[in-house]
Amino acid sequence: MGKLGIAAVVLTAALLLDTSPAEAQRRTQAGRLTCQLAPSVGLVVGSRQRMSCQFIASRRAFRDLYSGTVTRVGLDLGATAGGVMGWTVLARTQGLRRGALAGSYVGASGDIALGLGFGANALVGGTGRSIMLQPLSMSGQVGINLALGVARLTLRSR
């Protein structure tokens, strides 16, 4: 497991460094995205999990609903009964329009659960990779699971 842990750290660092600190500083907090996760089963080399999400804008205080899936490629063992995942949304502009988060995001992902669990996900995407979902989002889930790898999140406006 030592080599796998080192590989996960290297992968996470490479994906986080893909966005320079100067570019990250040019972004502003546009709101918060919270997703309810469906139950999932890890398939050793990957998994797919459906979710229902809500974005709440910081300034104009509107709610925007999304459905989505998160697909993980890498080590993924176990099963979870669902949970909650949340991100601070960083964008180049604070005034995001409805549906602006729809699109694909990619980044590093890690989750662990033994009964109650937690995870961290670093994702960048949207139109022209203009939106960052807070470099370390926190998730809460119930189950027995270990997952490390690359995550792809797809959001569709409802």
Domain boundaries, the chain: 2-157
Q: HSE-up of 72 (CA within 13 Å, CB side)?
A: 28
Where would I find the H helices in the chain? Answer: 2-16, 21-25
Question: How many of the other CB atoms lie within 10 Å of CB of 61?
Answer: 8
- Predicted confidence (pLDDT) per residue in 14-41, tens digit: 444 444 444 545 778 899 999 988 877 7
- In this predicted structure, what is the pLDDT of residue 28? 87
Residue 153: both structure tokens together: 């999140």
Q: How confident is the model at residue 156 (pLDDT cuts 50, 70, 90)?
A: very high
- In this predicted structure, what is the pLDDT of residue 9? 45
**CA–CA distances in Å: residue 11 to residues 109, 113, 129:** 9, 21, 19
CA angle 37, 39, 40 (to 5 degrees): 105
Q: What is the DSSP letter of 94?
A: S
> For the whole model, what pTM was predicted?
0.74
Q: How many residues does this entry show for the chain?
A: 158
- In this predicted structure, what is the pLDDT of residue 157? 95
Q: How confident is the model at residue 69 (pLDDT cuts 50, 70, 90)?
A: very high
pLDDT value at 71 more than 70: yes
Where would I find the H helices in 26-154? Answer: none
Q: How confident is the model at residue 147 (pLDDT cuts 50, 70, 90)?
A: confident
